Amino acid sequence: MEKKEKKKKSKSKLWMTVAPLYIFTILFVVGPLIYMLNLSFMTRAEVWGVVKKFTFDNYLKIFEPVYLDTFIESLKLSLATTLITLVVGYPFGYFMAKLSAKWKKIMMLLVVVPFWTNALIRMYGWIIIFRSNGLLDKALIGIGMTEKPLKLLYSYPAVLVGMVYSLLPFMILAIYSVAEKMDWSYIEAARDLGASRLQAFLTITVKLTLPGILSGVVLVFIPSMGLFFISDILGGGKIMLVGNLIRDQLFTTRDWPFAAALSVVLMILTSLIIMLYRKITHVRDLEGIL
Amino acid sequence: MKIKKIIAAFLVIVLSTSMMVGCSGEKKKEVNLYTWADYVPADVIEGFEKETGIKVNYSNFETNEEMLAKLENSKGGDYDLVLASDYIIKIAGEEGLLSELDKSKIPNYSNIDSIYQGFFYDSENKYTVPYAPGIPLIVYNPEEVTCEITGYESLWDPSLADSVGIMDTERVINGIALKTLGESFNTEDLDAIQKAGDKLLELAPNIRILSQDQTQDYLVSGEISVAFLFTSQVALALQANPNLKVVYPKEGLGFGVDALFIPSKAPNSENAQAFLNYILKGEVGAKISTQTYYLCPNKASYEFLPEEFQKSLVISAEDIPEGEFIQDVSAEATQLHNKIYTEFKAKLN
Amino acid sequence: MKNKTRLPHLYLALLMIIMYLPIVVVIIYSFNVSKQSTIWGGWTINWYKEVFRDSSLIEALKNSLVLGLLSCSIAGLIGTIGAVGMVKATYKSKGLVEYISTLPIMIPEIILGMVFMVFFSLLRLPFGMITLVIGHASFCIPYVFMMVKARLVGIDKSYIEAAKDLGATEVRAFLDITLPLISPAIVSGMLLAFAMSLDDVVISIFVTGAKTNTLPIKIYTQLKTGITPKINALSTLMLLGTLILVILSNVIGKRKRV
């Protein structure tokens, strides 16, 4: 075939592959996004709904200390969650990628299947184990390690553990799907050239799995900012995160414009952080995800 | 080519499945009920379906506001019967989403005990049928509590550090603080609300749990020693541990009613009236109350209520006029409420 | 690399045990006599009977399974071919489109749900399975897209070029070379998407119709009256069902090879 014809054909085929994504994105993401942006500049109606009165107030309100603090607290929790998930999940995905073909498939299912159980029920499972006079207490008191029941739940650490637990499979699978295709011969070559295990790991493995780390971080960090039911159930409802705040504003205060403004700021914040992360890790050939 | 066949087959499956589930076919006799899951007991639904041959489509929402958002969106259509809380029914009324009941189609309407009627959300009794009235009360474990508990103020007692559980409902918690200052739940005085917010910050060290679900479970399991519970939770707590003590807060009781209404453009409003008539039957009303553990608003049901049940419901009709509803307040007041609640939660850590 | 220590396997096993701990508790408590989910009262199999008697629960389960399958399939399709196309594309606006297509997971579900509801009304779409699938697909696509993209980057393009030199068309090269190479990412993405769909409450409540109830909606809205061990029983049955499916597909797979 002529080179020019070949190029034309491949270009039209290219359009076919991205077209569904584009159409879907424009219809069901851009559209709603514009609506949300629009909403954030309106004013809460007295009883229900909104009044089309343009205002910046909603954005200004976010700077009040009580609401600003909520953002900061959520950020701290999300960063902590993401870090811990990375530290715990990376080795898991890495080791998983080195298993035999049969075991890889089994592990993938084993990692995801628990998450087909309803999240609420899983949380109750944790509660049954960790609450005062729960299973853990009974075991510890039984072997004489403690006398009074521990008060482990309904605290910040409990929420952190719950978040890590819920988001771990995303990190694991993100790392796994990139580590799995890694060419181990690179490592062997580095070792042959005299690098220690640690050096080989840091310079080669980490670099090669960086795209996976990035998707893992994105898939964990972003949802963690919005999750509210974990802090409600495991935290005893005591921790007000941005997700809770948005929910309260939407349902209890019925201030939809403020909730929309909070969401827009949340979105911008998370985008900035991802962009920053990309810059720091010099991931240039990682096209996409900003 | 094989791949084309696979894509074609895939599209066919996708389209046919979505059409199958979306299409309704000929018009069956049905009624669309919209409320919290399991709030209307299964045996009541089955009984209705058997007696009338009308199928009940039971849809669920989590919060009253979600329900109203959906109802607004459908302009009062899609749903035939909605069971929701008093304050949201008032708002729905102001938005024109309620339809008047045709009492000629609901002969059992007269079974309703009139002390549960004439409230702010339906003062002329044109739109609603009460379903679950209740008064929240303080319940505590006398074995764990050393101080005297007489009202909301007692919750602030320092001996109760990290031992109190309340429902995670903004207006209720702010309301308790308001009551200790002698104010109404529904004051729109911003100064008063702010003072209540300051008072709330002092309560923070005592709160162990702000619960989304069954607060009484935490009391029964020993996680907390004092709880502020809804009527159903009070009954369940006493059932599990009869030694628990109940307190009627001396500063003033709250009151609330969940009620049924028919939206303005309900597609099957005849069937909805039939359903209302069914649940207002004496025996059915008893079945409902013995499973929801709320007060029974149906006069005709009283004879069917088992004796132990009457005992576990510690509230009587005389208490009703004392109770104050938590109602919607001005936009400014509402926003201040959220502000002080957010500050309160921030202090809980 | 000849790693002789058992450390990796120990690590995997330990974490698996921790991950499954609450699941085991859920299964055990499905036999709990007490109506209160977290307080043990004694053994019974009544809740399993209740599950089968509750036709609305079974219907909600069916809806959720269909919804999950449809959404993750659509997400798998659109996300994968989208990712493949994006990697090859070179024009400038593509960065923006990629960013926008991953936005659904950046926006809080509640807002997204409300916005979808208004939007679907504007488009006059019938509320029910159709709107549910669209809503779910939109937050599932980013998962598949990102996983596949991450995997595609760094796949040696020379494989594809070699195939083309040998006479393969674009499509054949994709099917025979690229697809098998990225399949772990596609499968990971789809499995996660299915899990997300099965757990979605907020968006579902806003975009469903009066006649379509889903399992997570039923479970979460039961919080008001209390979640009974019936749900534990249902979850246990679902896990059992998954196990059976996996064993079956393994057996069938083995048969095929012979």
pLDDT at B43: 92
- For residues A113 and B308, the model is more confident at A113
pLDDT category, C164, cuts 50, 70, 90?
confident
B&C contacts, CB < 8 Å: 105
**Euclidean distance between CA atoms C243 and C248, whole angstroms:** 9
Question: Choosing among A96, A287, A290, which should be mutated to test the C contact, i.e. which has the most C CBs within 10 A?
Answer: A287
pLDDT at C225: 84
B62 and B100 housed in the same domain: yes
Q: What is the pLDDT of residues B76-125, one digit of tens each?
A: 999 999 999 999 999 999 999 999 999 999 999 999 988 889 899 999 99
CB–CB of A290 and C95 under 8 A? yes
Instruction: Pick B331's closest partner by Cβ from A46, A153, A236.
Output: A46
CB–CB of B341 and A248 under 8 A? yes
Q: What is the mean pLDDT of residues C44-52?
A: 90
pLDDT at C182: 85
Q: Is B166 helix (H, G, I), strand (E, B) or coil?
A: strand
pLDDT category, A3, cuts 50, 70, 90?
low
B228 and B342 housed in the same domain: yes
Contact B1/A at CB under 8 A: no
Q: What is the mean pLDDT of chain A?
A: 83
B218 and B266 housed in the same domain: no
With a CB cutoff of 8 Å and minimum separation 6, the contacts of B93 are B121, B122, B127
Cβ neighbours of C149 in A, within 8 Å: 211, 215, 287-289
pLDDT at B259: 96
pLDDT at A287: 40
pLDDT category, B316, cuts 50, 70, 90?
low
CB–CB of C211 and B14 under 8 A? no
* Nearest alpha carbon to residue C59 among B57, B276, B9, B318: B57
Residue B120 lies in a domain: yes
pLDDT category, A27, cuts 50, 70, 90?
confident
A&C contacts, CB < 8 Å: 267
Report whether pLDDT(C172) > 80. Answer: no
CATH number of the domain that residue A83 is part of: 1.10.3720.10
B245 and B277 housed in the same domain: no
Cβ neighbours of A245 in B, within 8 Å: 342
pLDDT category, A19, cuts 50, 70, 90?
confident
**Euclidean distance between CA atoms B348 and A239, whole angstroms:** 7
CB–CB of C213 and B59 under 8 A? yes
CB–CB of B22 and C208 under 8 A? no
pLDDT at C173: 75
Q: What is the pLDDT of residues C63-98, one digit of tens each?
A: 999 999 999 999 999 888 888 877 776 666 667 777
Report whether pLDDT(B7) > 70. Answer: no
Report whether pLDDT(C14) > 50. Answer: yes
Output the CA torsion sign for A190, A195, A197, A199.
Answer: negative
Report whether pLDDT(B21) > 70. Answer: no
Residue A20 lies in a domain: no
pLDDT at C251: 80
* Nearest alpha carbon to residue C201 among B128, B198, B37: B37
In angstroms, the separation between the Cα of residue B69 and the nearest Cα of chain A is 9
Q: What is the mean pLDDT of residues C173-178?
A: 78
Cβ neighbours of C37 in A, within 8 Å: 124
CB–CB of B22 and C201 under 8 A? no
Q: Which residues of B264-297 are buried (b: 16+ CB within 10 A; e: fewer)?
A: bbbbbbebbbbbbbbbbbbebbbbbbbbbbbbbb
CB B261, CB B127: distance < 8 Å: yes
**Euclidean distance between CA atoms B236 and B7, whole angstroms:** 55
H or E segment and range at residue A288: none
Cβ neighbours of A39 in C, within 8 Å: 115
- Specify the number of domains making up chain B: 2
Report whether pLDDT(B267) > 60. Answer: yes
pLDDT at A218: 85
Output the CA torsion sign for C220, C222, C224, C228.
Answer: negative
B107 and B80 housed in the same domain: yes
Cβ neighbours of C212 in B, within 8 Å: 21, 59
> pLDDT over 90 for what percent of chain A?
19
In angstroms, the separation between the Cα of residue C89 and the nearest Cα of chain A is 8
H or E segment and range at residue C190: helix C179-199
pLDDT at A281: 66
CB–CB of C188 and A177 under 8 A? yes
Q: What is the mean pLDDT of residues A178-195?
A: 82
Report whether pLDDT(A111) > 60. Answer: yes
Residue B85 lies in a domain: yes
Residue B12 lies in a domain: no
Cβ neighbours of C53 in B, within 8 Å: 42
In angstroms, the separation between the Cα of residue C209 and the nearest Cα of chain A is 19
In angstroms, the separation between the Cα of residue B293 and the nearest Cα of chain C is 10
Main-chain dihedrals φ then ψ at residue A12, nearest 5 degrees: -70, -35
In angstroms, the separation between the Cα of residue C46 and the nearest Cα of chain B is 16
Q: Which of A21-30, A118-127, A242-251, B262-271 has maximum average pLDDT?
A: B262-271
Residue A179 lies in a domain: yes
Which of B43-52, B160-169, C75-84 is the least confident region? C75-84
pLDDT at C183: 85
B62 and B178 housed in the same domain: no
**Euclidean distance between CA atoms B335 and B340, whole angstroms:** 9
Residue A32 lies in a domain: no
CB–CB of A33 and C100 under 8 A? yes
Residue A126 lies in a domain: yes
pLDDT at A285: 45
Residue B21 lies in a domain: no
CB–CB of B217 and C221 under 8 A? no
B89 and B225 housed in the same domain: no
CB–CB of C29 and A13 under 8 A? no
Question: Choosing among B193, B223, B332, which should be mutated to test the A contact, i.e. which has the most A CBs within 10 A?
Answer: B223
Cβ neighbours of C246 in A, within 8 Å: 109
Q: Rounded to two decimals, what is the model's pTM?
A: 0.87
pLDDT at B1: 42
Residue A27 lies in a domain: no
Residue at C12: amino acid letter: L
pLDDT category, C175, cuts 50, 70, 90?
confident
Instruction: Pick C218's closest partner by Cβ from B37, B74, B213.
Output: B37
**Euclidean distance between CA atoms B25 and B20, whole angstroms:** 10
CB C182, CB C152: distance < 8 Å: yes
Residue A249 lies in a domain: yes
- Specify the number of domains making up chain A: 1
Report whether pLDDT(B346) > 60. Answer: yes
Cβ neighbours of B225 in A, within 8 Å: none
In angstroms, the separation between the Cα of residue A196 and the nearest Cα of chain B is 45
Residue B53 lies in a domain: yes
Report whether pLDDT(A1) > 80. Answer: no
* ipTM value: 0.84
pLDDT at B277: 96
pLDDT at A7: 56
* Nearest alpha carbon to residue A112 among A126, A96, A132: A96
- For residues B27 and A216, the model is more confident at A216
Residue B4 lies in a domain: no
> pLDDT over 70 for what percent of chain C?
93
Residue B2 lies in a domain: no
B168 and B297 housed in the same domain: no
Residue B17 lies in a domain: no
CATH number of the domain that residue B171 is part of: 3.40.190.10
Cβ neighbours of B214 in A, within 8 Å: none
On the CB side of C52, CA atoms within 13 Å amount to: 5
CB–CB of C231 and A118 under 8 A? yes
Report whether pLDDT(A283) > 60. Answer: no
With a CB cutoff of 8 Å and minimum separation 6, the contacts of B178 are B184, B185, B187, B192, B193, B196
Q: What is the mean pLDDT of residues C159-181?
A: 78
B84 and B169 housed in the same domain: no
pLDDT at A149: 75
Instruction: Pick C225's closest partner by Cβ from B24, B32, B39.
Output: B39
* Nearest alpha carbon to residue A40 among A62, A22, A23: A62
Which of A125-134, C85-94, C247-256 is the least confident region? C85-94
Which residue segment(s) compose the domain that B239 sits in?
137-252+324-347
pLDDT category, A137, cuts 50, 70, 90?
confident
Output the CA torsion sign for A235, A240, A246, A249.
Answer: positive
Report whether pLDDT(A126) > 60. Answer: yes
Q: What is the mean pLDDT of residues A68-88?
A: 93
Domains in chain C (CATH in brackets) are 56-225 (1.10.3720.10)
**Euclidean distance between CA atoms B179 and B167, whole angstroms:** 17
Q: Is B81 helix (H, G, I), strand (E, B) or coil?
A: strand
**Euclidean distance between CA atoms A274 and A59, whole angstroms:** 22
* Nearest alpha carbon to residue A62 among A290, A265, A273: A265
Which residue segment(s) compose the domain that A251 sits in?
57-280
Query: Cβ of B55: how many Cβ atoms within 10 Å?
Result: 16
Report whether pLDDT(B150) > 70. Answer: yes
B97 and B162 housed in the same domain: no
Burial of A10 (0-12, 13-18, 19+ CB in 10 A): middle
pLDDT at C166: 81
Question: Choosing among C105, C107, C217, which should be mutated to test the A contact, i.e. which has the most A CBs within 10 A?
Answer: C107
Residue A5 lies in a domain: no
pLDDT at A223: 86
Question: Choosing among B70, B229, B292, which should be mutated to test the C contact, i.e. which has the most C CBs within 10 A?
Answer: B70
CB–CB of A236 and B209 under 8 A? yes
B200 and B304 housed in the same domain: no
Which of B144-158, B233-247, C35-49 is the least confident region? C35-49
Q: What is the mean pLDDT of residues C104-123?
A: 85
pLDDT category, B8, cuts 50, 70, 90?
low
Q: What is the mean pLDDT of residues C175-185?
A: 83
B240 and B103 housed in the same domain: no
Q: What is the pLDDT of residues B170-200, one digit of tens each?
A: 999 999 999 999 999 999 999 999 999 999 9
CB–CB of A47 and B341 under 8 A? no
